[in-house]
Amino acid sequence: MRIGAIEAGGTKIVCGIGNENGEIEDRFSFPTEGSERTLDHIIAYFLDKGVEAIGIGTFGPINIDPASELYGYVTTTPKPGWSGYPFLGTLKKAFDVPFGWDTDVNAAAYGEAVWGAAKGLDSCVYYTIGTGIGVGVYAEGKLVHGLVHPEGGHMLTRRHPEDEFEGICPYHEDCLEGMAAGPALEKRWNMKGSELPLEHPAWAMEAYYIGQAVTGAILMLSPKKIILGGGVMQQKQLLPMIRTEVQNNLKGYVSSDAITTNIQEYIVSPGLGNNAGLCGALALGWAAAKNRIS
């Protein structure tokens, strides 16, 4: 089956073609611009591809309630030109195929559950830590939806005792995203995270905040795998530091070998690498196609 996939991030859009085995055959990426210009690029890419379904994993917040008149819309994003935009509806007008629709992080969690680090498990949590922070939740064999969708990047945090940074979130200031996303790193330390030395105190502080979030996810959701992706997590020294923070936070309370003994196999990088989001969108498209057939 020929399936289209769209990973719509706040900075970059990635479109691709793949199949039901998770194999990416072609891809095209470009910067995220205004809504109409971006959708023009997406539609132009898929016009001659002959896709039988399309999966979309997009930055949010988005409306994922099929019963709502605003299903398929981007809702309260601070990204200029996108709030209130009918993303899914615009594509449905261009292509008469089944569509999968979810957040980019839920898509990544799904891709990791189908083909990646959580393959064979019925639950996982996926964090992306980059331009923003998002959380995807896969539990009891399905993606978690509810009132809206998981927005764990905006969980409130306990402030590091040496941190006087005000936070950058336009809604909550010092929530997790406001304190630990890539732009927060840059504003706090006056240089991009990729330019900070390995031994810089920024990384201990970053691990402190992300470790809090992961600890909360373990206590609330009890997932069988935690996956940490995104641009900030390209700093390889960060993952072991986060594992240590989580163990220190839990203090042995969660009695599981996965945490006390084998945490290096429990809190991991994406098994699909940089393809987690695109493969997740591919999996959403494949699921939508199967649902139509059945």
CATH number of the domain that 12 lies in? 3.30.420.40
Token representation of residue 173: 């200031």
Tell me whether residue 79 is in a domain: yes
Tell me whether residue 232 is in a domain: yes
Instruction: Tell me: do 229 and 88 sit in the same domain.
Output: no
Angle at 240 between CA 262 and CA 206, to 5 degrees: 135
- Edge-to-edge strand ranges of the sheet holding 133-139: 142-143, 133-139, 124-129, 226-229, 267-268
Total number of domains constituting the chain: 2
Tell me whether residue 68 is in a domain: yes
> Is residue 148 very low, low, confident or very high in pLDDT (cuts 50, 70, 90)?
confident
Tell me whether residue 292 is in a domain: no
Whole-model pTM: value is 0.95
Question: What is the C-alpha separation between 155 and 179, in angstroms, rounded?
Answer: 11
Tell me whether residue 183 is in a domain: yes
Q: How far is CA 293 from the centre of its chain?
A: 28
Instruction: Tell me: do 93 and 121 sit in the same domain.
Output: no
Instruction: Tell me: do 199 and 229 sit in the same domain.
Output: yes
Q: By residue range, what is the domain housing residue 226?
A: 117-269
Tokens 């390209």 appear where? Answer: 234
pLDDT for 72-131, tens place per residue?
Answer: 999 988 788 999 999 999 999 999 999 999 999 999 999 999 999 999 999 999 999 998
Tell me whether residue 214 is in a domain: yes
Which residues share a beta bridge with 129? 133
The pLDDT, as a whole number, for residue 293 is 61
Instruction: Tell me: do 55 and 159 sit in the same domain.
Output: no
Instruction: Tell me: do 144 and 251 sit in the same domain.
Output: yes
pLDDT for 167-216, tens place per residue?
Answer: 999 999 999 999 999 999 999 999 999 999 999 999 999 999 999 999 99
Instruction: Tell me: do 132 and 20 sit in the same domain.
Output: no
Instruction: Tell me: do 129 and 251 sit in the same domain.
Output: yes
What's the mean pLDDT when you consider all of the chain? 96
The pLDDT, as a whole number, for residue 289 is 96
